Amino acid sequence: MGTSTVSGIVEEMCCAIWDALQGEYMAFPSSSQWQDIAEDFWRQWQFPLCVGAIDGKHVRIRAPPQSGSDFYNYKGFFSIILMAAADANYRFIYVDVGAFRRESDGGVLGRSAFGSRLAQGSLNLPAPAVLPGTTTPSPFFFLGDEAFPLQENLMRPYPGTNLQDRKRIYNYRQARARRVVENAFGILAARFRIFSRPIDCKPEKAVKLVKACVALHNFLASTERARYMPATFVDATSDTGEVQPGEWRQHVAGDQNMVDGPRCLVGSSRPSRRAALVREQLADFFLSDAGVFPHQYSVLRLGSTDQ
């Protein structure tokens, strides 16, 4: 078959995969499903009221013809941005594919429909609940890294390096829970090896390819989990709290096609007092009998909280 014929078949197939799987395996969560996700995060990662971990990746593409600098990023290559949120089981609950320009993860999020709904409080998240074992009320929220703004429904780490132990423990607990989205991206890249090299097609077709892979990832993670991502394939935590790298990391070693998005800080506006208070309450909770995680003190003694 000719190149254009094969290209058309691939594009149609990717659209068919997305259309067939999106409704069941990529559907936007309902209020009760948000609650289920939060319960999974608390049970599996000991982080309360979390409904997802957010991150962004540059997906490298060949230079589009006559695109100028539209898809040329600050890292020095052409890419589209894959912004996603993952649940506690390494499945994507939201994806936004195709953004470009030299903007931060937070900037991409803010321009997406999901980010707009998050800022407006229209994601149909459950009503605020109390932290486990306490009477302290808190909203449900997502977890982002330092590239995202601190908002009432979006927590980010405490900035800086010379932090009090209380803040370092909070950062450790958040980084530990956020590993789900890093692993979700890693599993996706390890299983779908189109991500091992620059995608050689126009940006609009690359978007369809990425969306099809994401939908298949969720389908396989839900129906063939034991074979698709066995226990040794994902990161694990030892009895001492140290991270044991998953096998997916060996598969993607040396790959240059899916790389971290910009790490710059987002905007200059100060977080609201309510957002700062939510993070402070969580930091206090992680020191309480109801919220303590035994390994958090071991990690402090090791001198690192990036676990």
pLDDT digit string (tens) for 261-306? 655 434 445 778 999 999 999 999 999 999 998 888 877 766 655 5
Residues spanned by the domain of 98 = 3-302
Parallel, antiparallel, or unpaired: how do β-strands 141-143 and 50-60 relate? parallel
CA atoms within 13 A on the CB side of 108: 29
DSSP for the chain, written as a single string: --HHHHHHHHHHHHHHHHHHHHHHHSPPP-HHHHHHHHHHHHHHH--TTEEEEEEEEEEEBPPPTT-TTTTB-TTSSBEEEEEEEE-TTS-EEEEEEEE-SS--HHHHHHHSHHHHHHHHT-S-PPPPEEPTTS--EE--EEE--TTS--BTTEE-PPP-SS--HHHHHHHHHHHHHHHHHHHHHHHHHHH-GGGGS-B-S-HHHHHHHHHHHHHHHHHHHHHSHHHHS-GGGS-EE-TTS-EE--THHHHHTT--SEEE-------SPPPPHHHHHHHHHHHHHTTSTTT--THHHHHHHHT----
What is the C-alpha separation between 28 and 31, in angstroms, rounded?
10
In total, how many domains does the chain have? 1
Other CB atoms closer than 10 Å to residue 99's CB: what's the count? 21
What is the C-alpha separation between 291 and 48, in angstroms, rounded?
9
What integer pLDDT is reported at residue 41 of this predicted model? 97
Asked, for residue 78, whether it belongs to a domain, the answer is yes
What is the C-alpha separation between 58 and 179, in angstroms, rounded?
18
What is the C-alpha separation between 287 and 280, in angstroms, rounded?
11
Asked, for residue 32, whether it belongs to a domain, the answer is yes
Whether the CB-CB separation of 145 and 178 falls below 8 Å is answered with: yes
Residues 6+ apart with CB under 8 A from 280: none
CA atoms within 13 A on the CB side of 109: 28
Asked, for residue 307, whether it belongs to a domain, the answer is no
What integer pLDDT is reported at residue 297 of this predicted model? 85
Whether the CB-CB separation of 5 and 12 falls below 8 Å is answered with: no
Report the chain (307 residues): mean pLDDT per 10 consecutive residues: 86 97 94 95 96 92 70 75 94 84 58 76 90 94 92 94 92 95 96 92 91 97 96 86 89 86 50 93 96 84 60
Asked, for residue 215, whether it belongs to a domain, the answer is yes
Other CB atoms closer than 10 Å to residue 241's CB: what's the count? 19
What integer pLDDT is reported at residue 2 of this predicted model? 82
Asked, for residue 244, whether it belongs to a domain, the answer is yes
Closest to 61 in 3D by CA, of 74, 71, 76, 50: 71
Whether the CB-CB separation of 71 and 64 falls below 8 Å is answered with: yes
Asked, for residue 290, whether it belongs to a domain, the answer is yes
User: Dihedral of CA 97/98/104/110: which sign?
Assistant: negative
